[in-house]
Structure 1
């Protein structure tokens, strides 16, 4: 069971860039949930992926060599859903009907920023990654998701509050 969870139903075995595949699949599922009227499934999915990840990663790593094998992608799923929650919840509260095409920056920006922070590993992301523990496997991606969410909201604020009035 832990292998199914940590690989997100086998997604972690996709090559190359299993983490990117997991992020893209998480975005596709989140957008589909939003479009179906289940916007709150995104933060709930983040919470579920986080809890399951903290449960499954130590069990999986006890049976496998390496600190963070590439097939472990539940951390990317949790982090990506966290980043998306920063846009999905406000869009849902403002009754924006179409995330896929109408509000596409609401999923593209968190995807790109999450992957950037996950690969670059600045500040707390890198510190968590260097922990060398099973908790660090999850925490670096949760930090990356949090940073991606904050930066996405800052960019949205700049666009909507500063640039949009000037652009007409």
Structure 2
């Protein structure tokens, strides 16, 4: 396995079946928790940016001679998108001085919402996916992650009474 394939498949996670995208999203959870514990939301944000560009490079390399623009084994895009979906939780825990694990309902919401947006591909998510380019592979999950992050933040606001009474 070459370096680009290791990055694109997140160390081979992309070869897990069934549903390699879901496995990619699942492996992103403990990685995000570790990043948050080590350096808070700022380290997670830096990791998102770095992984996006590494993923763009790796996806370009892995799909260069392939007919399939978005092979199932490429899951670095799911990791980036899932991390984006978790970003409001990381900032919320940091702001409140709470354990990232205390926000466990948000983790479930972030995972489920990201997977739904990634699978259903509404609006701009589908547009990015239809680009059939390495940037489209990465961007559809970035947008799905952003949609999920917005929903997570709204659900947290509802759950904590910010929008109530």
Confirm or deny a common fold (TM above 0.5). yes
C-alpha separation in 2, matches of 1:122 and 1:92? 31
Kindly report which structure 2 residues correspond to 1:69-84, keeping only aligned pairs within 5 A, or say none.
69-84=71-86
Question: 2:33 aligns to what?
Answer: 31
Question: 1:99 aligns to what?
Answer: 100
Report the TM-score when normalising by structure 1: 0.89
Unaligned segments of structure 1, at least 5 residues: none
C-alpha separation in 1, matches of 2:35 and 2:75? 20
Cα pair distance change 1:37/1:133, threshold 3 Å: closer
Question: 1:118 aligns to what?
Answer: 118
C-alpha separation in 2, matches of 1:4 and 1:99? 28
Question: 1:135 aligns to what?
Answer: 135
Report how many aligned residue pairs link the two structures: 162
Unaligned segments of structure 2, at least 5 residues: none
Deviation of the 1:105 alpha carbon: 1.7
C-alpha separation in 1, matches of 2:158 and 2:137? 33
Question: 2:67 aligns to what?
Answer: 65
61-70 or 119-128, larger mean C-alpha shift: 61-70
Q: Deviations over 1:104-152 (max 9, x none)?
A: 1231111111001000111110111111112110010000000000011
Structure 2 contact 89–100 (Cα < 8 Å) conserved: no
